[in-house]
Structure formats: C-alpha cells, structure tokens
Amino acid sequence: MRGETGGRGFRHMMKNQSKSSKIFQAALFALSLALLAYFCISGNNLVVLINSIPTLNLFWLLGAAGCVAFSWAMDAMVIKSLVCHAYESDYGYIHAFKVTMVGQYFNSVTPYAVAGQPMQLVSLIRQGVSSGIAISTLVRKFLVYQTTITCFSLVVILIRYGFFRSQFQGFMALAFIGFLYQAASVILLLLFTYSPKFTTRLIDGVVWLLTKIHLIKNPEEAEKKVRDQLNFYLENNTAMKGNRLLNIRIYGCTFMQLISMFSVPFFIYKAFHNPGAPFFDMIAAQSFVTMISSYTPLPGAAGAAEGSFLIIFQIFFKPSIITQAMLLWRLLAYYSCIAVGAFFAGFDKRREKMELKHQTEHSSQVDSPAENGGTTNES
C-alpha cells in the first residue's frame, strides 16, 4: 500500500514537473519574443526596415530567402536519402520535407532545440517508418550535421580566426567555446554510434534509474527491448556507413545546407546596395555567430544571435543599417522556420509500415513503445 501511495505521489510530482517545464519553456519563448520586440522598437528599427524594403535590391533579397528555402530542401534530401536506403518502396520527398519542417518548427520554439528530433521521430513513425529506422535516420543525420559543421568551423578558425580576433579583442573567445561545444557533441555521438560497450552501459544506467523511481516494472524485459533496438540501429547504421555513394550524397547535401544558411547575411548585405566584402569572410562571420549562439539556452539563441551579429558584422555593415540588416536576417533565417513550420507541425494519420529491404534480416525487430502506443510503465 505504501509503495502504491508513493508511486501515485511520484507520478503526481512528475505531472507537476511537466507542467512547470511547459510554463518555463513558454516563459523562455516569451522572453525571446520580448527581445525581438526590443530590437524592433528601439530606434524605430522595424519601421525603418519596412520603409527601406522598397529601396532594397529585389534580386539579392529573394536570393537571401532562396538560401533559407534551399537549406530546408537539402535537409529534407538527407532524410529522404537515409530512409530510402532502408525501404523497398520509394519514400516521397514531400514526406521528408514535412519531417524537416516539423524539426525546424520545434527546434525554433524550444530551448537548445530539444524538441526537434523527438517530434521528427514521431512524425517518421506516423508516416510508416519503423522506430529502428527512424532512430537510425535521425541519429545518423545529426552525426553528419554536427561533424560537417564542426569541420567547417575548424577550417574557419584556422583561416580567419586571427583576422576576426584582431577586430574584436576578447569577444572571439566565445566562438572558440562554441566550437568546443560542437566538438564535444560529435565525440558523444561517435561514442554512441561506434562504442556499443559505452552505449550498453548507458542503457543499463538509464534502466536502473527508471526502475528505482518506479517508471519501469520489468527491467529485464525493458533492457531486452532497448538492446534489440540498439542492435537494430547499429546494424542499419553499419549498412549506411558502408554505402559510399549514400555518404557522399548526405555529406554533400549537409555541406550545401550549411553554405546556404551561412550565405544569407551576404545576400542581405548586397540587398542594401553594398559593394565589395569577400564572400568567404561573410560566411566565416556567420559561422562565428553560429558558434557563439550554439550554447545559448533560449529558443533560437535569442539575444546571443542578435548581439553577436551586431558585433561581428559591424565590420561589414554601416552603423545606420546594421540593426535593420540583423532584423531582416532573423526574420528570414529564424522566424520563417516558425511561420512556415507551423503549417507542418500537425501530424498526419498513421500510415501502414513501409516494407524494409532485406525483410528477413530485420524480421526480429521489436517494436518500441512509441510505435505500438504503449508506455514505459508497461515494460
């Protein structure tokens, strides 16, 4: 009886924590909007920007918007390529694009973009993709993205760090911290992907913790299910890793995705009728902005993104237009993800599971709770 009472009390506490977490996330998002409102109102920057739009070069302005759309298209192509690698039937590009925009939306409205991948997982499963393939796809995609952006950041640091450090004494150390944060993420992902012993110990620790707090009733069965899914993921990941053409495609698409996003400030710069400014320097500057804002807990790295843009890009933009340029950049590169992603944020009706390639090799796959509608307590 005491155990049942304690269990009810714990579940009640977890519900309260979940409610508190939602309130906290809503407060952070409200703070992000307040920061945007501050930049818009201060100095009538939004009014000035709106009034100056008719004078902007339409070609370069559309090019900036096109860069954002192209980055979404490349992200969707990576998802499509990874899913199609595992299935006999063709996985439609429109489904992959929907998953991309679900991720863009939830990444934009949650701190550290924590909800993006979980919601993409749900979206993939509802599209008929098995949980093992869905997890493999998202983890592999994230590993490719983090590896690519870390390597890109390393190249930028080696080539242009000295130049930017000479312009902003002390400030660029924040970018180096961001690079270390990116590199640490890659190391953890590599351990998860290529060190089964590390991952198994991690699983055992999580199951032990969930058992202690009475969220799992049958730890042996839960461990078996999770390890079956882990083995399935590792087998599928090995197959992906051994496909050279697939790797070239997904790394190529990810590289083009990054280049297109980092090019947005350059297109905005040209839209304001500015001459000169080396293209690579503008991309490098945006790379440093991304590094600095990567470890900011607010949704969309609010505050850090705007502030670092204003500081770093002041060497390119005139003081009279830099704030308007920053607002235009944020509207295109961040708030468009929310506006467009909102149309895709709802989930479709659940579809039948797609047919795997080499079905017999995967016939032993055990469905996860996310697929069969169960909960962790049923383990």
Residue carrying structure tokens 């012993």: 197
pLDDT of residue 190: 79
Angle at 61 between CA 288 and CA 67, to 5 degrees: 55
* Residue (of 228, 254, 229) closest to 82 by Cα position: 254
Q: CA-to-CA distance for 378 and 216, rounded, in angstroms?
A: 7
Q: CA-to-CA distance for 57 and 64, rounded, in angstroms?
A: 11
* Residue (of 32, 101, 3) closest to 344 by Cα position: 101
pLDDT of residue 218: 73
46 three-state secondary structure = helix
Mean pLDDT, 10 residues at a time, the chain of 379 residues: 46 48 58 60 60 85 96 96 80 92 87 80 87 83 91 91 81 84 83 73 70 70 68 64 84 96 96 86 92 76 81 90 89 88 73 59 42 39
pLDDT of residue 371: 46
pLDDT of residue 138: 87
Q: Quick check: 360 and 230 in contact, CB under 8 A?
A: no
Residue carrying structure tokens 């098995």: 130
pLDDT of residue 142: 87
Q: CA-to-CA distance for 272 and 78, rounded, in angstroms?
A: 33
Residue carrying structure tokens 């979940």: 18
Question: Up-side HSE of residue 169: CA atoms within 13 Å toward CB?
Answer: 0
Q: What is the pTM of this model?
A: 0.76
In angstroms, the Cα distances linking 60 to 57, 265, 340 are 6, 10, 21
In angstroms, the Cα distances linking 245 to 91, 93, 147 are 18, 19, 18
